Amino acid sequence: MSSRRGSSTVLLPSGQTLTTFTKHSQDEEGLPHATKKTMADHLRKYEALFNLTPQRMRMVVEAFKESLELGLSKPNQVVPMIPTYVFGWPSSKEKGNYLAVDLGGTNLRVCLVTLEGEGKFQITQAKYRLTEEQKQDEGQKLFDFCGECLKAFVDTHRAEGHIGKDEVLPLGFTFSYPCAQERIDHGVLIRWTKGFGAPNTEGHDVVAMFRESLAKMSVPAEVVALTCDTTGTLIASHYVNPKTRIACIFGTGCNAAYMEHVRDIPKIAQLGIDPDMEMAINCEWGAFDSFEHENLPRTKYDQIIDETSNKPGEQAFEKLISGRYLGEILRLIICELIDEGVLFLGQNTYKLEIPYCFDTAFLSLMEMDPTDELLMIIGIFNHFFAVETTLAERQFFRALAKLVARRAARLSACGIAAIVSKMGYLDEGCSVGADGSLYNKYPNFAERIHEGLHDIFGEKGKNIVTYHAEDGSGIGSAIVAAMTKDRKTANIYPNL
């Protein structure tokens, strides 16, 4: 087969480079490929499946609001609406050295944060990669690993003089998984998310487990606050932008937090907290519609992902919008078309048959491809999956990526809209601090959220503005630790 090629180098998110090639028409001779018309016909089918009308979005918002209210009223609901015992907003007068530890979906992150007051701070940090084996290993071993990493970090900074020889630092522990909290330094894991499955952890107090590991490693740190990255993001973002009322994470997982009046949290009425006080609520909204499956526009691909996941029947909302799953949705569509004899006839497609092999970063690269012949997409399919593509197929793949990602963004807008509507923020407007790989790196994700808010609320939707949030799991966690330390020193609800 004769061929003439032009080449281009592509930098992937991992830092790898790959060489992509433009293929001229004679390269495609002898290979059966789907035609442009065939691809257009199939695209119309997927558009019908993945497009969300404003009317459908408003229906989702109303159902979402009901779930939020139910979670505030009663314990053990689908959307748990977890009281965080973070009382009110930071004063910007918080000062001192604090440790922050974030057990995230991909990395363990350890930070030393120096709060200087007036919204100023300094931060140094280290990251430690989590293996898939560690995510499934015995729970206490996972926390022992956290303790080992923290000890190494503290020892290094003590040797450099950043931490005093006998100094025991207050620590904010960011644990971004649903926990039931009875006080701020306590949290019983309700369920693992983001692909974790470490046994003997669900139903246990993760702070107690972490403290056991810290004692075992002789780490000079005192866990004073357990928080999630979303609550930390809410506090850190308000620290620098007082218009912030909501914080969201759109990354490997998804979540939201906001500040609620205690009088509107009936399930904690027995605690006797001043009803006029405000408390941050960790929504854990990834579970929305998990049991009813009546409100979200789930396709058969979403159902396959749910049924084959390590947590079937859980995190229904997350499985439609988070970065962990968008690439898999697209892969399942491609595999369906391979099975139907539409794509890659005569080619070996075994590499595409591996679950989760199609990273969501590929969708991002496909949408960003600036070339007429879509060289980036050639490189992805050739380099990672050893298959050849035509221009018509590449255009189809990019259109599919846009459909999947746009649905995720518009559903994300529904979650934000539910909180905005519930709290009455629409007329005066508010800022939403947003973080996570999807929000920060996926092209047009933020714009599509804003488009969704406009479709839900009309012109008033422009009053709701999302922006790149401050570091919730580092700075936010440290600020929460400082707020908690100050509150307990002042004897304000010291047992909480």
Q: Looking at 109, 144, 176, 473, which residue is catalytic?
A: 176
The Cα 315–Cα 298 span in angstroms is 12
The Cα 228–Cα 256 span in angstroms is 10
278-282 and 82-87 strand pairing = antiparallel
Per the CB < 8 A criterion, the answer to whether 477 and 172 are in contact is: yes
The Cα 409–Cα 105 span in angstroms is 20
Residue appearing with tokens 């995720």: 408
Q: Looking at 102, 185, 229, 359, which residue is catalytic?
A: 229
Residues linked to residue 347 through DSSP beta bridges, in sequence order: none
Strands (E) located in 104-243? 107-117, 120-129, 169-175, 179-180, 188-189, 221-227
The Cα 57–Cα 48 span in angstroms is 15
The Cα 349–Cα 71 span in angstroms is 45
41 is catalytic: no
CA atoms within 13 A on the CB side of 5: 14
176 is catalytic: yes
Burial zone of 20 (CB within 10 Å; 0-12 exposed, 13-18 middle, 19+ buried): buried
Q: Looking at 109, 191, 331, 394, which residue is catalytic?
A: 191
5 is catalytic: no
Residues assigned a catalytic role: 176, 191, 229
